[in-house]
């Protein structure tokens, strides 16, 4: 699967940006806004901030089918359910 996202056309041109570049840009912006502070647990913070919308969007993509979502994510259904409960995304 291609990890390049096509952005909306600007002045008749479209631009492609990889998921990696998009994440790198967001993290760079976050770090620049720290203004010299040195926070703890950046890794955990980033993982939490990325994981919740990832789960939510993949689940929407497969119309709520947890088995399909787990397959898309490459995790087992039990792990997915645990993560959904953690983020209160399960009904």
How far is CA 74 from each of CA 8, 22, 28, 67, rounded to the nearest angstrom? 29, 22, 28, 10
CA proximity to 69, closest of 87, 77, 14: 77
Q: How confident is the model at residue 75 (pLDDT cuts 50, 70, 90)?
A: very high
Mean local confidence (pLDDT), 65-82: 98
Name the burial class of residue 13, with classes exposed (0-12), middle (13-18) and buried (19+) by CB atoms within 10 angstroms of its CB.
Answer: exposed
Tell me if residue 10 falls in helix, strand or coil: strand
Q: pLDDT (tens digit, 9 = 90+) per residue, 4-50?
A: 555 554 556 667 889 899 999 999 999 999 988 998 999 999 999 99
What number of other Cβ atoms are within 10 A of residue 55's Cβ? 20
How far is CA 32 from each of CA 38, 39, 63, rounded to the nearest angstrom? 11, 12, 37
Where are the chain's structural domains?
1-39, 40-91
Strand 4-6 versus strand 16-18 pairing type: antiparallel
Q: Does domain 40-91 have CATH number 1.10.10.60?
A: yes
Mean local confidence (pLDDT), 66-78: 98
Q: What is the pLDDT of residue 17?
A: 82
């Amino acid at each position: 699967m291609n990890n390049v996202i096509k952005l909306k056309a600007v002045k008749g041109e479209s631009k492609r940006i990889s998921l990696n570049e998009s994440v790198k840009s967001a993290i760079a912006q976050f770090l620049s806004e720290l203004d010299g502070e040195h926070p703890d647990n950046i890794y955990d913070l980033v993982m939490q901030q990325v994981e919740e919308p990832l789960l939510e969007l993949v689940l929407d993509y497969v119309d709520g089918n947890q088995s399909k979502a787990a397959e898309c994510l490459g995790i087992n259904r039990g792990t997915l359910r645990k993560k959904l409960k953690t983020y209160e995304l399960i009904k």
